[in-house]
Structure 1
Amino acid sequence: MGVSAENGIAGRHSSNYQSDRPWSSLDSEDSLSAPPDITSYMPDPIPISVRRPQVAMIARPLPKYGNAELMETGDGVPVSSRVSAKIQQLVNTLKRPKRRPLREFFVEDFEELLEVQQPDPSLPHPEGAESTPIQGEELNGLKNCPSSLEAALLRWGAIAPKAPCLTTTHSNAKQPYTLTYGKLWSKSLKLAYNLLHKLGSKQEPIIHPGDRVALVYPNNDPAAFMVAFYGCLLAEVVPVPIEVPLTKKDAGSQQIGFLLGSCGVAVALTSDACHKGLPKSTSGDVMQFKGWPKLLWVLTDSKHLSKPPREWFPLIKDANNDTAYIEYKTCKDGSVLGITVTRMAMLTHCQTLTHTCGYSEAETMVNVLDFKKGIGLWHSVQTSVLNMLHVVSVPYALMKVNPLSWIQKVCQYKAKVVCVKSRDLHWALMAYKEQSDTNMSSLRMVLIADGSNPWSISCCDAFLKVFQSMGLRSEVICPCAGSPEALTVAVRRPQEGSSKPAGRGVLSMTNLSHGVIRVDTGEKLSVLALQDVGTAMPGAMVCVVKLEGVPQLCKTDEIGEICVSSVATGTSYYGLTGMSKNTFEVGLVSDCVYVRSGLLGFVGPGEMIFISGTLEGLMQVGGRKHNADDIIATALAVEPMKFIYRGRTVVFSVNVLYDERIVLVAEQRPDSTEEESYQWMSRVLQFFLFLSEVLQWRAQTTPDHILYTLINTRVTYIYYFPKFPSAVSLDLIAAFYGCLYAGCIPITVRPPHPQNISTTLPTVKMILEVSRSVCVMTTQAISKLLKSRDASVAVDFKSWPPILETDDLPKRRCPLLYKPCDPDSLAYLDFSVSTTGMLAGVKMSHNATSALCRSVKLQCELYPSREVAVCLDPYCGLGFVLWCLCSVYAGQQSVLISPMDLEVNPALWLQSVSQFKVRDTFCSYSVMELCIRSLSSLTDSLKARGMDLSRVRSCVVVAEERPRVALTQSFCKLFKDVGLHPRAVSTAFGCRVNLAICLQGTSGPDPTTVYVDMRALRHDRVRLVERGSPHSLPLMESGKILPGVRIIIANPETKGPIGDSHLGEIWVHSPQNASGYFTVLGEENVRSDHFGARLSFGDTQTVWARTGYLGFLRRTDLTDASGERHDALYVVGALDEVMELRGMKYHPIDIETSIIRAHRNITECAAFTWTNLLVVVVELDGSEQEALDLVPMVTNVVLEEHYLIVGVVVVVDTGVIPINSRGEKQRMHLRDGFLADQLDPIYVAYNM
């Protein structure tokens, strides 16, 4: 328990003054209460007592300072001593609470997530019988086998000294170096003598038998490593192979120092070439790496070693239980452990590999693997010497230069065996060109070291398909599996002439995430294809145990950890007894002791072992287990060759909010652009192309997850999904997905308003006509409205297409669901009416829809445990996307509030946000205005009733216009008393060509506000000024640009890019752009290049979409989540609404803002032009006698601030100016009404 600084001071005072008794004023529990510990909250602080240690008292009397009685009581009475007064002040300070209780500082919003989740009985669970251990075949047939690897080296060095042992190739065109068995024996003997007799003195040698030494050799020098390894074995020294530290920082990151320190390593063996490349200090010695023990570096080249005397000979023992070598392993957390392997285990392991792989003397093996650890060490360094093989080593540096080098070595040496990884097969395929001299018929075994990884099966199949015509036989492909703890677990045997097919399985990834094996079919990304890695090794027993709890055998259809009982395994983690017992001493029902391999899998038919991943790569997300190898396999299945390097993909997890989140890191190819890589990444994040598939998948995997929350109604996935296939639904969302499942193109249309049916119904009819709809899906209530007498007056009922009422449909489900064959096909049509009165429908493809939902998900960090409140018009634009699409795509719970319901209860939206403790909400300007107008005098009442908006992190206003700074500021100021933070309110921007261009995310910087000179804007110039400057106009950033969206500012006339100081049209390039116009009504001469514009110079290849809005970009000093400077987009206004008067360009919103400030009774106004005259329509909220007073005020403010003369001033009643559902003024509709004399004005003033 920590002690505060005050307590520490008190302790020092008591020690300095050496009081002969404890000070009760400091020891008292009443006088000392510690402030709350912010790391672990407890309701009541626990008193802390400071106790002095019991020490021997000195005989002589010690002086006492001050009045001891007063100091003990601590009542604050002044004392005579200055020291006592200071101590008394300290005691009084300690009495007072220094901090408020921690609960007042922080309230955990996610405590409910800590509750223990009960297992769901509906989830997949294993149903098979209990599995049984499988037994490998007997180890026999090895006649005249040496009793140890040292004995084997002695035999071959004596009877075949010129036989090639190792051939090393280089990437710098050097001649290959061949190490013979005679040279290997003599050099190893020489090194063993020097280790034991030439380091230190005769009386005190540095190295004794049994000591550990580090082997530090690069990957391109296997000969020097092999000499050092066998030299250590002859000297009975334990080698510890490690990687070469390239920099001081590199050594610390590898955590090698912990391994060397725990093993007691004091000597490091290395070659002369490697020693020259090590980082050096100023004195020329090898730098002391951080965390490493102090090492003596010994060069093992022959020129640095003394020749042993003729009479000296090492003792060649039979294999025993002494430690032979230590192999390192890197754990999930980055720590490094050392696994000890005894001499008996090493020899037995080599014998089992000889029996399994069928090695014979003088065979040639090509090795591409790392020879210092794992399968490369076991085959190319150890087993090769036992069988007198000739190993041809191909270093990684040569593979990078020439990926076909190992195939060339196979053909050159007519190799029988090759040890590779699946990435080597992939690289060879990518670099291969048809050659007549390629002959791989000599191969009898291609050992795939990572054959247990899911992505290896595709590499093996593709490699076999290409090289089968060149002599490569299918039966020679031999995947294997192993781990540092269990060594080799299984190998598929090479069977020449065998027609037995390899074991394969296509499993459901959904069931695998629950640890259950279920066979699936079909080529889709939601399944995992596995290949077997053979059967158990000779003399070994293999079983599968449960991942959690006491070791128990798994069921036959359950994923578990592979455990091995054999002599040929590791024995312990060096120096870590506790961890070793849990891994190397697993007891089950039998008397055998098993070793955990760290591999996950199961035993399939024919006792074939299948590996599905590793325990280190296991991640638990949302109650389900995912393996890193599975995720990599899924990522590589999404067009991997075009964008990323296949062998450079890493998956790990980070803890976020009591759960793990998956992170995938892939290295981008240099010939791949950022945009292509983003699209690939987006497809990996959500590998479904169609929203209907997403909904179907969610309904199958999480049927009870809450999808939508309406007022007093909660709807789950499983509630909606059964109704969609037969196009049955009770609302807009279900009807939309019902159309997708039926193969129809849905068009969402706002129903006619019952109280204004004569004006709203023709718009509905017009959309149906221009979209060529063949059917109307609606509810029974709206159907009756369409058939009513009032509706027939506006539109003849007989002219409607067939009407399908979705309230009560048969329960029979459609047997076949429609699946789009092309992701670029049309998903739905988005119809809307612009502020200029143009009715247009844009085409949204499945690709664009998925990309749009994907970027919104990334920007807002949406996932199933999130709740989002949406109070928007659900029929078009971003409102429709947030209402109907995003919840299905991202899985978040959406609280839906209809804006029409706010007319009855204006507080409904904010009450829902407070009630459901929503952190993110979306609204429109009309909703915001309604709340300000209706709730301005009720904030105290709302606060008294418990409304709390302090949890709101982002309140985004969705619009297709310039952000209304004054309105958002008024909203923040009004609801500040109920906890709304001003920083939470931001805006979004979208338009017809791209429904979501900007949207304030959760991790981006706060939106910025700049001030521009209005006079410069009139000349399409952008000039930034200080706040409060004359003619300054505040412009707020329209949210953060969405991922995958590129923006450029172009001149709308010349179509060329313009500089930062110019105002231009916003052009956007994004995969979520609409495909084009389906129908345009009201402005037939609309520009045909809205969706296919190209710049006239510069980047002329990129296809852009023209938004029709003017704006500019500014790079701010703020940084986004990636650490880069943030680019802000500022929208000024619509290009079609710009009014050109007196040679200058004006935006109606600027004039309207000035007019609204002119008089308190002006509730709304609109400005437009008519025959070069400026017409202003103002709504009067007051008596008609005040109408005449408004005219001079309107004309004066426009003249003073904008230097314009108002031609016509029209004073009307409130509600006359038409406003659409997004809160945007329909100025052209108002203009048409003015020209048709339909406004019924209170007063009209002409200034012609």
Structure 2
Amino acid sequence: MNWRDVLSGTAQERPHATAFRFHSEEPGEPEHLDWAGLDARARAVAAHLADLGLAGRSAVLLFPAGLDYVAAFFGCLYAGVVAVPAYPPSRNARSTERLAAIVRDSGADTALTTAVIRDRLAPRLASADGVPPLRLVATDAMSTEDAPAWRAPRIGEDATAFLQYTSGSTSTPRGVVLSHGNLLHNTAMIGRVFGLDTGMRGVSWLPMYHDMGLIGSVMGTVRAGGTMSLMAPSTFARDPLRWLGVVAEERATVTGGPNFAYDLAVERTTEEQRAALDLSSWQVAYNGAEPVRPASLHRFAEAFAVSGFRPEAFLPCYGLAEGSLLVTGGPAGTGFRTCEPPAGSGAAGELVASGVLPPEQRLEVVDPETRQPVADGEVGEVWVAGPSVARGYFNRTDAVADTFGALVEGGDGTGFLRTGDLGFLSGEGEARELYVTGRRKDLIIVRGRNHYPQDIELTAERCSPALRGNGGAAFSVTGADGGEQLVVVQELIHGHGLADPAELARAIQAKVAEQHEVRPHAVVLIRTASLPRTSSGKVARHACRAAYLAGELLVTAVHADEEQPAAAAGGAAAELPVPAPGDREA
């Protein structure tokens, strides 16, 4: 079986049922695409790709959010073309550099897009330094009249479906090689854990160039045969109420996002607006891709109780691109559970369980040094094995043995994926759940004690409403004495209203020292929206550390235990205007 079989089968069974809707930036009637229409458009795209001789080769997808992305992606799967999901680069140099790195690594010489994007991008890419030549092909102009003449190639489960480029450094992107079989297995698991079927009604604002949006929202819907309403991430970011409004209007049963989405929904809506919503149909509110905070879930449940939202709908989950998407989650309808971290682990505060271990694959928590399994309740590295695990990184054979084929000491010879995440197991039998404590590479060790950056970042951002939520990065640097020192970087909101930001930096230093028993060597307050992030919006701690050491942060205020070296000072502070109190943003 392959993904052409899945989509064409649903098109035959339910040709006129709605498969996808797309809600544009402006309110109004959404675009619709039924199953027969999606199948026809995918066939038309596949026919043109075959004529271009792209079968077995890769093609970059450079679409804005919309139904054209969905049709072109499945056109690639139909034709045996290896899709490379990406997004049209902005005028920001970093965006163009990332696209160039992906094109070089994937070896693609063709990009699929819309006619509007093609005409806009062509001159820019031609003049951009470092971007390999790309043939831009507009798929929105392709006629479905060619669809009946198309002849399907033979595609097995082992065939590569697409390359998922992970968020991270622009200079060394890593393309996760995902096969049809990987994705069939993972979406079947998602369907079982989330309870998806033909009656599902979903809403997603997640970007389709990342695994959570593409695999979870788009491919998961195709596998279940249900209906999904899509919108652009920018639509959600501009007005989270629009997301919840569509959930209410369409009686959606499943939707969600990273933890920050739930915080933003509370911050950007009023009690009156919440009272006008009916969220009683919402059965699965998934939360993943970043640390899940219990306070966020409690706050959202309390704020939207008036809307009919039920806390048992929460479904925290854990996954990663190298495992296709989902690793643990659920069971659905049971809400979320918390526990205190193990003593001496370095984690602080209550942790939210990331769900039970699915029977479809194996999960071990392993001491990363000895490679021996640790007892339940002890922190180790999370290792995963099963049909959802990717075969490796494209053109990175050196990473296969240790990252994708790690062996447990004294085990049965099964090769495991080393996730790089730390966590522990708790519970009995089938109720054992995974608790993720953080990334191994992000762990901060000062004077022999472990500290998780997300815990320190949360403490810092709670010090003042003038600080942007999810806008901090904690990391360590090497001091003059050779020891590790803690640095906290935190964004201020625009129009923060502070007469002396340095005073707040001092308060953050004191609060972190009190809560975590480690004193930050430096607290750096920077301009809003200037914190380095990955293409999926996650805080890029390593990039932030590099910018700090290079003096490239847009600094507003610094408080340090001693004078900062030139490499970390960043020159003169870039002062923000001090507005009237009424101009402050929430």
TM beyond 0.5: yes
SS of the aligned residue for 1:1057 comes to coil
Cα separation, partners in 2 of 1:1141 and 1:836, compared to 1, 3 Å = farther
Q: Contact between 1:825 and 1:845, CA under 8 Å: does it hold in 2?
A: yes
State the superposition RMSD in angstroms. 2.5
Q: Contact between 2:311 and 2:335, CA under 8 Å: does it hold in 1?
A: no
SS of the aligned residue for 2:373 comes to coil
Matched, 1:970 2:299: yes
Q: Contact between 2:472 and 2:539, CA under 8 Å: does it hold in 1?
A: no
Q: Which one has more relative contact order, counting CA pairs under 8 Å at least 6 apart? A: 2
- Give the equivalent residue in structure 1 for 2:463: 1158
Quick one: which of 939, 958, 975 aligns to 2:271? 939
- Give the equivalent residue in structure 2 for 1:1006: 335
Q: Which amino acid aligns with 2:119?
A: K
In structure 2, how many angstroms separate the alpha carbons of the residues matched to 1:1205 and 1:904? 37
Q: Which amino acid aligns with 1:953?
A: Q
What's the offset of the Cα at 1:751? 2.3
What's the offset of the Cα at 1:691? 0.8
What's the offset of the Cα at 1:1216? 1.4
- Give the equivalent residue in structure 1 for 2:420: 1108
- Give the equivalent residue in structure 2 for 1:984: 313
Q: How does 1:142-541 map to 2 (within 5 A)?
A: none
- Give the equivalent residue in structure 2 for 1:1017: 345
Q: Which amino acid aligns with 2:70?
A: I
What's the offset of the Cα at 1:757? 3.1
- Give the equivalent residue in structure 1 for 2:475: 1168
- Give the equivalent residue in structure 2 for 1:32: none
Matched, 1:808 2:141: yes
In structure 2, how many angstroms separate the alpha carbons of the residues matched to 1:1190 and 1:836? 33
In structure 1, how many angstroms separate the alpha carbons of the residues matched to 2:559 and 2:521? 8
Cα-to-partner distance string for 1:234-272 (whole Å, 9 max, x where unaligned): xxxxxxxxxxxxxxxxxxxxxxxxxxxxxxxxxxxxxxx
What's the offset of the Cα at 1:796? 6.5
- Give the equivalent residue in structure 1 for 2:178: 844
Q: How does 1:1013-1092 map to 2 (within 5 A)?
A: 1016-1018=344-346, 1033-1079=349-395, 1088-1092=401-405
What's the offset of the Cα at 1:770? 0.7
In structure 1, how many angstroms separate the alpha carbons of the residues matched to 2:513 and 2:200? 51
In structure 2, how many angstroms separate the alpha carbons of the residues matched to 1:1130 and 1:1100? 25
- Give the equivalent residue in structure 1 for 2:53: none
Q: Contact between 1:1180 and 1:1213, CA under 8 Å: does it hold in 2?
A: yes
Q: Contact between 2:194 and 2:284, CA under 8 Å: does it hold in 1?
A: no
Matched, 1:718 2:36: yes
Matched, 1:778 2:113: yes
Cα-to-partner distance string for 1:476-529 (whole Å, 9 max, x where unaligned): xxxxxxxxxxxxxxxxxxxxxxxxxxxxxxxxxxxxxxxxxxxxxxxxxxxxxx
- Give the equivalent residue in structure 1 for 2:54: none
- Give the equivalent residue in structure 1 for 2:5: 693
In structure 2, how many angstroms separate the alpha carbons of the residues matched to 1:1108 and 1:838? 18
Q: Which amino acid aligns with 1:1234?
A: Y
Quick one: which of 491, 503, 508 aligns to 1:1189? 503
Cα separation, partners in 2 of 1:801 and 1:1221, compared to 1, 3 Å = closer
Q: Which amino acid aligns with 1:1245?
A: H
Q: How does 1:900-911 map to 2 (within 5 A)?
A: 900-911=234-245
In structure 2, how many angstroms separate the alpha carbons of the residues matched to 1:736 and 1:1177? 39
Cα-to-partner distance string for 1:598-642 (whole Å, 9 max, x where unaligned): xxxxxxxxxxxxxxxxxxxxxxxxxxxxxxxxxxxxxxxxxxxxx
SS of the aligned residue for 2:544 comes to helix
What's the offset of the Cα at 1:1043? 4.0
Cα separation, partners in 2 of 1:962 and 1:1087, compared to 1, 3 Å = farther
Cα-to-partner distance string for 1:179-207 (whole Å, 9 max, x where unaligned): xxxxxxxxxxxxxxxxxxxxxxxxxxxxx
Cα separation, partners in 2 of 1:1111 and 1:1158, compared to 1, 3 Å = same
Q: Contact between 2:315 and 2:332, CA under 8 Å: does it hold in 1?
A: no
Cα-to-partner distance string for 1:1196-1247 (whole Å, 9 max, x where unaligned): 1122222222122211111111344644211122222222322221122332
What's the offset of the Cα at 1:1035? 0.6
Cα-to-partner distance string for 1:723-776 (whole Å, 9 max, x where unaligned): 2123179511111111122221111112223xx533212211211111111210
- Give the equivalent residue in structure 1 for 2:253: 919
Q: Where does the alignment leave 5 or more consecutive residues of structure 1 unmatched?
A: 1-688, 1023-1031, 1117-1123
What's the offset of the Cα at 1:1087? 7.7
Cα separation, partners in 2 of 1:854 and 1:1055, compared to 1, 3 Å = same
SS of the aligned residue for 2:317 comes to strand
Q: Which has the larger Rg? A: 1
Cα separation, partners in 2 of 1:860 and 1:974, compared to 1, 3 Å = same
What's the offset of the Cα at 1:1041? 2.9
Q: Which amino acid aligns with 2:268?
A: S
What's the offset of the Cα at 1:1034? 0.2
Q: Contact between 2:2 and 2:180, CA under 8 Å: does it hold in 1?
A: yes
What's the offset of the Cα at 1:1036? 0.7
- Give the equivalent residue in structure 1 for 2:519: 1205
In structure 1, how many angstroms separate the alpha carbons of the residues matched to 2:457 and 2:521? 15
SS of the aligned residue for 2:521 comes to strand
Q: How does 1:636-655 map to 2 (within 5 A)?
A: none
Q: Contact between 1:837 and 1:1229, CA under 8 Å: does it hold in 2?
A: no
Cα-to-partner distance string for 1:95-131 (whole Å, 9 max, x where unaligned): xxxxxxxxxxxxxxxxxxxxxxxxxxxxxxxxxxxxx
Q: Which amino acid aligns with 1:1090?
A: T
SS of the aligned residue for 2:393 comes to strand
- Give the equivalent residue in structure 1 for 2:448: 1143
Cα-to-partner distance string for 1:1139-1165 (whole Å, 9 max, x where unaligned): 221112211011111212223322232
Quick one: which of 62, 73, 78 aligns to 1:741? 78
Q: Contact between 2:101 and 2:170, CA under 8 Å: does it hold in 1?
A: no
What's the offset of the Cα at 1:814? 6.4
Q: Contact between 2:167 and 2:536, CA under 8 Å: does it hold in 1?
A: no
Higher mean alpha-carbon deviation, 926-935 vs 993-1002, is at: 926-935
Q: Contact between 1:1007 and 1:1037, CA under 8 Å: does it hold in 2?
A: yes
Q: Contact between 2:109 and 2:133, CA under 8 Å: does it hold in 1?
A: no
Q: Contact between 1:1159 and 1:1193, CA under 8 Å: does it hold in 2?
A: no
Q: Figure out how many residues of one structure are paired with residues of the other and give that number.
A: 526
Q: Which amino acid aligns with 2:539?
A: K
Q: Which amino acid aligns with 2:288?
A: V
SS of the aligned residue for 1:1132 comes to strand
What's the offset of the Cα at 1:947? 1.1
Q: Which amino acid aligns with 1:761?
A: T
Q: Where does the alignment leave 5 or more consecutive residues of structure 2 unmatched?
A: 24-29, 47-65, 479-483, 563-586
Cα-to-partner distance string for 1:19-73 (whole Å, 9 max, x where unaligned): xxxxxxxxxxxxxxxxxxxxxxxxxxxxxxxxxxxxxxxxxxxxxxxxxxxxxxx
- Give the equivalent residue in structure 2 for 1:246: none
Cα separation, partners in 2 of 1:1041 and 1:835, compared to 1, 3 Å = farther
Q: Contact between 1:922 and 1:956, CA under 8 Å: does it hold in 2?
A: yes
In structure 2, how many angstroms separate the alpha carbons of the residues matched to 1:915 and 1:1073? 37
Cα separation, partners in 2 of 1:807 and 1:1087, compared to 1, 3 Å = closer
SS of the aligned residue for 1:812 comes to helix
In structure 2, how many angstroms separate the alpha carbons of the residues matched to 1:1155 and 1:836? 28
What's the offset of the Cα at 1:794? 4.5
Q: How does 1:2-81 map to 2 (within 5 A)?
A: none
Cα-to-partner distance string for 1:1007-1060 (whole Å, 9 max, x where unaligned): 3111125x6113xxx9xxxxxxxxx62011112333402211111111111112
SS of the aligned residue for 2:245 comes to helix
Q: Which amino acid aligns with 1:1135?
A: R
In structure 2, how many angstroms separate the alpha carbons of the residues matched to 1:924 and 1:856? 17
Quick one: which of 434, 437, 455 aligns to 1:1129? 434
Q: Which amino acid aligns with 1:1094?
A: L
Q: Which amino acid aligns with 1:1048?
A: E
Matched, 1:853 2:187: yes
Q: Which amino acid aligns with 1:832?
A: T
